[in-house]
Structure 1
Amino acid sequence: MSQVAKRIVREVHDEPHLEGRRITVQFLKEQVEDRNLDPRTVADRHDLDVADVYRALTYYHDHPEEMRAIERQRQSAVDEHRHLTTDPDDVRD
């Protein structure tokens, strides 16, 4: 079994993630709450202890303003770079 992350840190891309991993709090929240995956499934898929998943969910809900700010930053980056992507409907064989 994997080591349990002892804390949530902000070392990668200035976004909260599990210490020693690049897996963000936001990603784990999306997997469990938005995609309705079981926390154990998420932990197994990413070689985490299930406690890490619950720790991330707790952090997410304990810091709602911080997490909303991160979500706004992500959306802003998507919007800013949207012109660099190709819509699949625009691609011709």
Structure 2
Amino acid sequence: MPIRSDDDILGGEPRLAGTRIGVRHVAEMVVDGNTSPAHVADQLDVSLSDVYEALAYYYAHSTEIREFERANETARNRVREQTLHPKDAA
């Protein structure tokens, strides 16, 4: 399954084609979550080769992935600020 990016799906983040499974999400499960690629494939209902393809993309395009991570963190912080400090009703 090739890696694909579309602006209208996952905000343009690279993903496994035909799914909404982002490369970053696969990498988080394997790298950060210390989960085996085989277990991730089983959990996401994709092939093991899809998981390895996502990981290969993740490592080959680490700058691009970090930019998406920063953008998501910024958006999360903005929402958190608005949620924790709602504007006063006028």
Query: Normalization by structure 1: what TM-score?
Result: 0.82
1:67 is matched with 65
Q: Percent of counterpart pairs with the same letter? A: 40
How many residues end up aligned between the 2 structures?
81
| Cα RMSD (Å) | 1.1
2:34 is matched with 36
Where in structure 1 are there 5+ consecutive unaligned residues?
87-93
- Please report how far the alpha carbon of residue 83 of structure 1 lies from its aligned counterpart in structure 2 after TM superposition: 2.6
Larger % of helix: which? 2
Tell which has more relative contact order, 1 or 2 (C-alpha 8 A, sep 6+): 1
2:87 is matched with none
> Which whole-Å deviations, capped at 9, do the CAs of 1:31-57 have from their partners, x for residues lacking one?
000010000000011110000000000
4+ long deviations beyond 2 Å: 83-86
Q: How does 1:79-90 map to 2 (within 5 A)?
A: 79-85=77-83
